[in-house]
């Protein structure tokens, strides 16, 4: 007898989200949108007294797809969250003192596959004609020149490669998403969860609030931040600790007044014992120092950061402690963790909000019924683990490839043993000029090229195939591509 495809008729009747930070309200808004018209109820429990982590203000371009799904108008979003446009991350002092490079969004070249662009660019370099990588990226050049405008829809225009994300105010963003979700029927409960009742199968039955109320549901989404209230505290799910690869375990964050018009990039400046971020918004600048508590005290970090602000501080320094890693299983039984409850990777490439979004996308693709088939959660966990590991490797590269040796912190980074997966990628690149892109990879080859070469890692050769199969362009044609990019960017307005 052949197996038949069956629907269980046991669809979810209710989803309970714990936590009202960026993760909780992104999940609530996303569910409100995709469950529109269904009978499944969504409830969010949060405690204003506990508050949110309140940082997390730089994003990557994928967020625009989330807003498209929700149908949020860009102008409304910019107004509500006092957001600015972000085209790149500028890395200062990572390769060495005084050195700066850019990691722009989007591709290099025009009408050319990345592998060919890269091979040709490296070949020109080996022929004694080196050129700055940024000049080959519409987005990178626009960021360097401080120019921005509408992405072209004209297939022949280099400006169709203009790729951007946002800097946003995290508190205002959560507020915007909350309004969106509540308008679409999400019920919000103010209250502190003090107990989680777990049934005999290891599934969550209900939450008990401090005032004695009980909240029941079919499916629980743990967005309780570092607290990891359900997934870790109640369900005792372990943590895959990556702190041996990440020298920093602390951050101090301060907001300050803007001293100049916002620039089009996040700035990440390497310091003696970590790195400092600068995120310009319309109304203020977010700043933070990510550091190693083994090398610097909290007071020293705060003093250091305050001394380096470009405008007057408008908030008290906020200290945060973290451990790099991911939850061993983000989905267990009828509980899924998203956001900081699922793991933490430092904000060097602004990936946390993106990881919430991709986790949510995976949830939609693998949406459960009340049977919570372990095969579904296993697939979710497999894909999530891969995604976190690839982001982890990309971030480690920034530390491991730095040639700085001016402090114990950087000297420790230089002798770090890489994860095998990163060692493989780095070897492949240095020996052959090839970039390995694996399943569930967040960053495209263009991003890896920016970081490798920005930090001074060059391959011993370019891909030999371009000499055998023929070059995509003559040197003149290749140089003309750069001129087209510049001419197009110069038509954009000064930001
Ligand atoms: C230093 C630092 C810098 C960062 N920078 C970036 C960045 O630039 N870009 C980026 O993408 N990400 C960044 N992140 C990550 C980003 O801040 C988080 O991914 C994002 O804010 C999501 O957090 P969250 O919603 O999971 O947790 P939180 O914001 O901590 O929210 C947790 C929620 O759970 C609630 N809660 C907790 N316990 C209980 C309880 N017992 N009962 C009821 N409610 C409870 C809280 O009240 C809160 O509403 C950064 C993180 C840190 C630490």
What is the per-residue pLDDT across 112-137, written as a single tens digit (0 to 9) for each? 889 989 999 999 999 999 999 999 99
Q: 168: CA distance to ligand 1 center in Å? A: 14
52 lines ligand 1 (CB under 6 A): yes
Q: What is the mean pLDDT of residues 279-297?
A: 97
89 lines ligand 1 (CB under 6 A): no
Give the pLDDT score at 154. 84
Q: What is the mean pLDDT of residues 399-420?
A: 94
Q: What is the mean pLDDT of residues 451-478?
A: 84
| Residue from 20, 21, 28, 267 whose mutation best tests the ligand 1 pocket (most atoms within 8 A of CB) | 21
Residue whose CA lies nearest to ligand 1 atom number 44:
46
353 lines ligand 1 (CB under 6 A): yes
Q: Looking at the predicted structure, is the pLDDT value of residue 1 above 50? A: no
Give the pLDDT score at 97. 82
Residue whose CA lies nearest to ligand 1 atom number 14:
56
56 lines ligand 1 (CB under 6 A): yes
Give the pLDDT score at 155. 82
- β-partners of residue 85 are 166
Q: How many CB atoms lie within 10 A of CB 115?
A: 16
| Residue from 18, 49, 56, 210 whose mutation best tests the ligand 1 pocket (most atoms within 8 A of CB) | 56
**Do 249 and 292 meet the contact criterion of CB atoms below 8 Å apart?**
yes
Q: 55: CA distance to ligand 1 center in Å? A: 7
Q: What is the mean pLDDT of residues 37-46?
A: 96
45 lines ligand 1 (CB under 6 A): yes
343 lines ligand 1 (CB under 6 A): no
Say what percent of the chain tops pLDDT 90: 89
**Do 356 and 339 meet the contact criterion of CB atoms below 8 Å apart?**
yes
| Residue from 225, 250, 291, 350 whose mutation best tests the ligand 1 pocket (most atoms within 8 A of CB) | 225
Q: What does the alpha-carbon distance between residue 366 and residue 116 come to, in Å, rounded to a whole number?
A: 36
Give the pLDDT score at 458. 97
Q: What is the mean pLDDT of residues 443-454?
A: 98
Q: Looking at the predicted structure, is the pLDDT value of residue 396 above 60? A: yes
- Ligand 1 atom at minimal distance to the Cα of residue 57: 8
Q: What is the mean pLDDT of residues 395-403?
A: 95
- Ligand 1 atom at minimal distance to the Cα of residue 277: 8
Q: Looking at the predicted structure, is the pLDDT value of residue 76 above 60? A: yes
Q: What is the mean pLDDT of residues 154-163?
A: 90
pLDDT tens for 236-264 read: 999 999 999 999 999 999 999 998 999 99
Q: Looking at the predicted structure, is the pLDDT value of residue 164 above 50? A: yes
Residue bearing tokens 């990019």: 485
266 lines ligand 1 (CB under 6 A): no
Q: What is the mean pLDDT of the chain?
A: 95
Q: 252: CA distance to ligand 1 center in Å? A: 15
Residue whose CA lies nearest to ligand 1 atom number 7:
56
Q: Looking at the predicted structure, is the pLDDT value of residue 475 above 90? A: no
224 lines ligand 1 (CB under 6 A): yes
Q: 24: CA distance to ligand 1 center in Å? A: 9
233 lines ligand 1 (CB under 6 A): no
Q: What does the alpha-carbon distance between residue 129 and residue 121 come to, in Å, rounded to a whole number?
A: 9
- Cβ partners under 8 Å of residue 398, min gap 6: 91, 94, 348, 451, 455
Catalytic residues: 86
- Ligand 1 atom at minimal distance to the Cα of residue 51: 47
Q: 306: CA distance to ligand 1 center in Å? A: 23
- Cβ partners under 8 Å of residue 71, min gap 6: 33
466 lines ligand 1 (CB under 6 A): no
Q: What is the dihedral of CA 284, 250, 24, 398, to 10 degrees?
A: 80
Q: In terms of Cα–Cα distance, which of 186, 164, 200, 156 is closest to 85? A: 164
Residue whose CA lies nearest to ligand 1 atom number 1:
251
- Cβ partners under 8 Å of residue 45, min gap 6: 16, 17, 18, 19, 20, 188, 189, 191, 193, 207, 209, 215
In this structure, what token pair is assigned to residue 84? 């600015």
- Ligand 1 atom at minimal distance to the Cα of residue 20: 49
């Amino acid at each position: 007898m052949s197996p038949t495809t069956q629907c269980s008729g046991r669809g979810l009747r209710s989803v309970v989200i714990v936590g009202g930070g960026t993760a909780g309200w992104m999940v609530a808004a996303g569910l409100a949108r995709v469950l529109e018209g269904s009978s499944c109820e969504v409830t969010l429990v949060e405690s204003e007294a506990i508050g949110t982590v309140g940082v997390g203000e730089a994003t990557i371009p994928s967020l625009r797809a989330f807003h498209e799904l929700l149908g949020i108008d860009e102008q409304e979003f910019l107004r509500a969250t006092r957001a600015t446009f972000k085209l790149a991350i500028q890395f200062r002092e990572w390769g060495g003192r005084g050195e700066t490079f850019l990691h722009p969004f989007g591709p290099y070249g025009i009408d050319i596959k990345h592998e060919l662009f890269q091979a040709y660019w490296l070949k020109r370099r080996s022929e004694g004609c080196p050129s700055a990588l940024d000049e080959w990226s519409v987005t990178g050049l626009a960021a360097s020149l401080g120019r921005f405008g509408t992405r072209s829809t004209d297939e022949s225009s280099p400006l169709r490669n203009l790729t951007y994300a946002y800097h946003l105010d995290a508190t205002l963003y959560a507020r915007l998403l909350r309004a969106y979700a509540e308008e679409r029927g999400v019920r919000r409960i103010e209250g502190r969860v003090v107990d989680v009742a777990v049934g005999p199968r290891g599934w969550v039955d209900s939450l008990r609030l401090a005032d004695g109320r009980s909240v029941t549901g079919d499916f629980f989404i743990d967005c309780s931040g570092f607290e990891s209230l359900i997934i870790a505290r109640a369900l005792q799910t372990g943590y895959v600790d990556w702190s041996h690869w990440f020298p920093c375990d602390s951050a101090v964050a301060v907001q300050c007044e803007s001293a100049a018009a916002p620039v089009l990039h996040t700035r990440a400046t390497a310091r003696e014992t970590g790195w400092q971020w600068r995120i310009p918004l319309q109304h203020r600048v977010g700043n933070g120092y990510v550091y190693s508590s083994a090398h610097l005290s909290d007071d020293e970090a705060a003093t250091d950061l305050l001394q380096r602000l470009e405008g007057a501080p408008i908030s008290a320094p906020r200290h945060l402690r973290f451990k790099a890693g991911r939850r061993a299983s983000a989905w267990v039984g009828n509980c899924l963790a998203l956001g900081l409850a699922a793991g933490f990777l430092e904000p060097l490439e602004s990936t946390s909000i993106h990881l919430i979004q991709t986790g949510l996308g995976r949830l939609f693709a693998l949406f459960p019924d009340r049977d919570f088939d372990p095969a579904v959660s296993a697939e979710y966990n497999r894909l999530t683990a891969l995604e976190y590991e690839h982001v982890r490797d990309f971030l480690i590269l920034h530390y491991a490839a730095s040639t700085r040796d001016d402090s114990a912190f950087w000297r420790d980074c230089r002798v770090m043993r890489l994860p095998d997966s990163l060692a493989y990628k780095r070897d492949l690149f240095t020996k052959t000029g090839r970039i390995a892109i694996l399943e569930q990879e967040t960053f495209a080859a263009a991003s890896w090229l920016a970081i490798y070469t920005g930090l001074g890692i060059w391959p011993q050769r370019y891909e030999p195939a371009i000499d055998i199969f023929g070059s995509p362009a003559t040197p003149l044609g290749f140089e003309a591509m750069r001129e087209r990019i510049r001419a197009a960017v110069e038509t954009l307005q000064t930001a």
